Structure 1
Amino acid sequence: MKLFGFDIRREERAAVENPAVPLNSAAAWASLFQSWGGGSGAGAAVTVETALGVPAVFSAVSFLSRTMATLPLHAYRHTEKGATRIKGGIQTLIHEAPNAEWTSFDWREYLFWQAFTEGRGLSWIERSGTNLVGIWPMVTACTTIRLQNGRKTYVYAEEGVPTKTYPASDVIDLPFALKSDRVTAYSPIDKCRNAIGLAIAMEAYAGNFFKGGGVPPLALVGQLGTGNEAIKRSINDVHRAIEVARSSNKPIFPLPASYDLKPVGIDPEKGQMGEARLMQIQEIARAFQLPPVFLQDLSKGTFANTEQQDLFFVKHLIGQWAKKFEQQMNLKLFGQRNSGRYVEHNLDGLQRGDFKSRIEGLARAIQTAQMTPDEARALENRPAHSNPAAKELLVQGATVVLGSSPPAGHNGGPPLDDPPKDGQENDAEA
């Protein structure tokens, strides 16, 4: 309907004004920030693209994806002598290049990016008979998963590519978390859309607030003229005065007589907007199970707890995703009953930047006969040493079995439990 020539919409109560919606719900505050932010933000549907516009979400997804892609990934075989690194085609596929167009880093980054955004990462295994030829990434949005007789099939229909159906044994499937139907998967962005939407709304409000020179929405108070044209003139006079003041960069501007401007809404500082935006970073970190320090939230960070968060990150997040990916690869590449072959991440790769800890760990491994010097040099991409002793396991000579005697020549003398040689007893008595 229209009143005085202006469009008047039917009243729609925001969630924050609805008595049926608790004030501590995200929807209530999202609707409030939406009204302040000019209708954008939480009112719009939270999609993958809009969510990635939130710095904390983009940082979480990119950080996790690239960290998983950075981890060294190797193929091994169980032998009588222990685990032996496999050389050749399989190692090249998983560690160097899964196909002729993608590097291993790019492929794994894309796979985990899909898992942390769409909720599922998919890749198709190309075979020639029983031989592995390549691994190709699949677009999650172009894949339909069907469950028939308890078995899954993957129907891939990408634009410009013939539709093809793959059995589950040829698809590396990495869901964020499966739903009860065993087919569809949860997406962290979809399940946490209220928290992400609130972050979008606050960012939109802050942008509009500062875009307007820090001037909040204003209400014109005073005696309005009677009639449609008089109201229009009053509004235009005030608007013209504000525009003139803004263009002249002067903090003072005149108002028509008998009028006053009063701010509408809550001042951002009084509304604790800074604290609220910081809380949303922590909420998003919680959604991805990331310690907040990895989203550059150091508000409560100290030297001690930051180091502990680093350990938490490896033990309780990266380790879980690494195991999930390894088992999916082992099942799909080698089958349910493989011949002792398997792939495994080297989580020590996360210490690549910590030179001191890395070198101290290698030295300890050499001294305790867990690694030969040449094996330690190989981990640092250094050539084998010419001395044959570099290929031998070493241990410090003073280490003996508890309760046994020190070795011969200990402290420059004979073993304590050896009988004295001829003449030694008489020498001692003399």
Structure 2
Amino acid sequence: MNWLNKLFERRSTNHAPGGDSYWQDFQALRSGPVNPATAQGVSAVFACVAAISETVASLPLHVFKGEDKARQHPLYRVLHDQANPEQTALEFREWMTAQVLLTGNAFARIERGHDGQVTALWPLKDVQVLRLKNGSLAYEYTDSTTGQLVRLLAHEVLHLRHRIGPDGVLGLSPIAVARGVIELAQAEQQMGVETFRNGAKLAGVLEAPGALKAEQRQTIKEAWAAHRSGATPVLDGGMKYNPITQTMEDAEWIEARKFSVIEVCRIFRVPPVLVGAQESANYSNSTEMARQFVTLTLRRWLLMWEQAINAKCLSEAARRTYFVEHSVEGLLRGDSTTRAAFYSSGIASGWMLKSEARALENLPTIEGIDESPALETQVATPQPYPSKQVPA
């Protein structure tokens, strides 16, 4: 790309103080840190993290006993309603998921009651992971209230991880692994900011009928600067303003910005249409990409939560009876016509009960509905979508 090549060509040129200020800013940006805070300044990064963390946190997370929801289990309230006295379950799970996406790890202190059941989950920041002499793990953090160093053992911490790194303990940070992609996106963004902030965009040129003296140039410069502040410019002495249309370099910068969005989406495996990249989107493939988002993107993060909770928040004896699982039917159900045909087919084939179909649609229970005669033949035409009103 010509505009990008020119930027890097300038890197080998010596600049005196007061010279090419834009390139100095660009160099400063490249030498600055790429961390979770600065990375979220890139809109595509923020959107990808939000798409995954918000969706995961908003999905119902249930504790099951066999096929039934164990609503009376103490852990059910912690995961479904209130994680701790200060955070709802959604707020806690959203923060934890975002931390894993940005740093590769998320930690929470497990608070238990006298009976050993989990009563609260408290998020932790700035945690150090240690390997003790006996081979087990320990987690250290500084208490924000007392300022004291606190050490927790492995069974006292819920540790969520991205892909585990070479040490076999900590997860890899997508931001750190893909630093170059984030850096380039930041550089392109900063170029746009400096362009419009400092008037670096050459929108037009002033044409004078003859040569100008230094005093005249300074006067014109000050007048044009006043115009940029809102004053109306006055051209005299036969001067003309010639506007310049968009150049090929401008177009390449715009295309590079679009490509950076695609690159960031690759890091988080998020379909670009979900973060607002609509160039190649239409109704048909947008629906399919939304399904792929659940099956190919969210599945990993949902399993991460489920397996970590089952391992840390349930005892070995409890795991023989209870388990934790998300409910994703709401994301996969599709439109009402498709769902009605799906339920009709399942009921007619005998692998789904009418009561189960109503439960999936959050419809009220009807006593004895499964005892009514089953459909004798396959339903060729989808039936109307059932109403959520209680039948008379």
TM over 0.5: yes
Question: How much has 1:330 moved relative to structure 2?
Answer: 0.7
Is residue 180 of structure 1 aligned with residue 166 of structure 2?
Answer: yes
Contact 2:359 2:365 (C-alpha < 8 Å) held by counterparts = yes
Q: Which has the higher contact order (CA 8 A, sep 6+)?
A: 2
Among 112, 136, 139, the residue aligned to 1:154: 139
- Per-residue CA shift, 1:223-251, capped at 9, x if unaligned? 999xxxx9xx7985564243245454438
Among 302, 324, 330, the residue aligned to 2:304: 324
Give the letter aligned to residue 339 of structure 1.
R
Question: How much has 1:367 moved relative to structure 2?
Answer: 3.0
When residues 41 and 254 of structure 1 are mapped into structure 2, their CA distance, relative to the original with a 3 A threshold, is: farther
Q: TM-score scaled to structure 1, two decimals?
A: 0.71
Rounded Cα–Cα distance in structure 2 between residues aligned with 1:276 and 1:164: 47
What residue in structure 1 maps to residue 16 of structure 2?
none
Contact 2:112 2:118 (C-alpha < 8 Å) held by counterparts = yes
Give the letter aligned to residue 242 of structure 1.
W
Rounded Cα–Cα distance in structure 1 between residues aligned with 2:160 and 2:343: 34
Question: How much has 1:333 moved relative to structure 2?
Answer: 1.5
Contact 1:120 1:173 (C-alpha < 8 Å) held by counterparts = yes
Is residue 90 of structure 1 aligned with residue 75 of structure 2?
Answer: yes
Among 77, 80, 85, the residue aligned to 1:100: 85
When residues 394 and 241 of structure 1 are mapped into structure 2, their CA distance, relative to the original with a 3 A threshold, is: same
Percent identity over paired residues: 25
Rounded Cα–Cα distance in structure 1 between residues aligned with 2:248 and 2:162: 37
Is residue 250 of structure 1 aligned with residue 233 of structure 2?
Answer: yes
Q: CA RMSD in A?
A: 3.7
Contact 2:58 2:90 (C-alpha < 8 Å) held by counterparts = yes
- Per-residue CA shift, 1:153-204, capped at 9, x if unaligned? 1112142244322221222211122211123322112222222222222222
Tell me the number of residue pairs that the alignment of Structure 1 and Structure 2 aligns: 354
Q: After superposing the two structures, state which structure 1 stretch, 166-175 or 204-213, moved more.
A: 204-213
Is residue 343 of structure 1 aligned with residue 343 of structure 2?
Answer: no
Among 375, 379, 396, the residue aligned to 2:356: 375
Contact 2:83 2:122 (C-alpha < 8 Å) held by counterparts = no
Question: How much has 1:302 moved relative to structure 2?
Answer: 3.4
User: Could you say what secondary structure the match of 1:145 adopts?
Assistant: strand
Rounded Cα–Cα distance in structure 2 between residues aligned with 1:208 and 1:254: 32
- Per-residue CA shift, 1:264-315, capped at 9, x if unaligned? xx95744611100000100110111111111111212234433332232122
Contact 1:123 1:171 (C-alpha < 8 Å) held by counterparts = yes
Q: TM-score scaled to structure 2, two decimals?
A: 0.77
User: Could you say what secondary structure the match of 2:375 adopts?
Assistant: coil
Question: How much has 1:218 moved relative to structure 2?
Answer: 11
Structure 2, unpaired ranges of 5+: 1-5, 13-19, 206-210, 379-392
When residues 138 and 39 of structure 1 are mapped into structure 2, their CA distance, relative to the original with a 3 A threshold, is: same
What residue in structure 1 maps to residue 288 of structure 2?
308
Contact 2:92 2:123 (C-alpha < 8 Å) held by counterparts = no
* Counterpart mapping for 1:203-282 below 5 A: 203-213=189-199, 215-216=201-202, 236-237=218-219, 239-246=221-228, 247-250=230-233, 252=235, 269-270=249-250, 272-282=252-262
Rounded Cα–Cα distance in structure 1 between residues aligned with 2:375 and 2:47: 47
Larger radius of gyration: 1
Contact 1:351 1:358 (C-alpha < 8 Å) held by counterparts = no
Give the letter aligned to residue 280 of structure 1.
S
When residues 195 and 234 of structure 1 are mapped into structure 2, their CA distance, relative to the original with a 3 A threshold, is: farther
When residues 53 and 380 of structure 1 are mapped into structure 2, their CA distance, relative to the original with a 3 A threshold, is: same
What residue in structure 1 maps to residue 23 of structure 2?
35
Is residue 59 of structure 1 aligned with residue 59 of structure 2?
Answer: no
Rounded Cα–Cα distance in structure 2 between residues aligned with 1:176 and 1:255: 66
- Per-residue CA shift, 1:110-129, capped at 9, x if unaligned? 11011111221222211124
Question: How much has 1:215 moved relative to structure 2?
Answer: 3.7
When residues 254 and 240 of structure 1 are mapped into structure 2, their CA distance, relative to the original with a 3 A threshold, is: farther
Among 117, 131, 144, the residue aligned to 2:116: 131
Contact 2:262 2:272 (C-alpha < 8 Å) held by counterparts = yes
Rounded Cα–Cα distance in structure 1 between residues aligned with 2:301 and 2:181: 24
Structure 1, unpaired ranges of 5+: 1-12, 20-31, 257-262, 400-430
Give the letter aligned to residue 127 of structure 1.
R
Is residue 396 of structure 1 aligned with residue 375 of structure 2?
Answer: yes
User: Could you say what secondary structure the match of 1:184 adopts?
Assistant: coil
When residues 268 and 322 of structure 1 are mapped into structure 2, their CA distance, relative to the original with a 3 A threshold, is: same
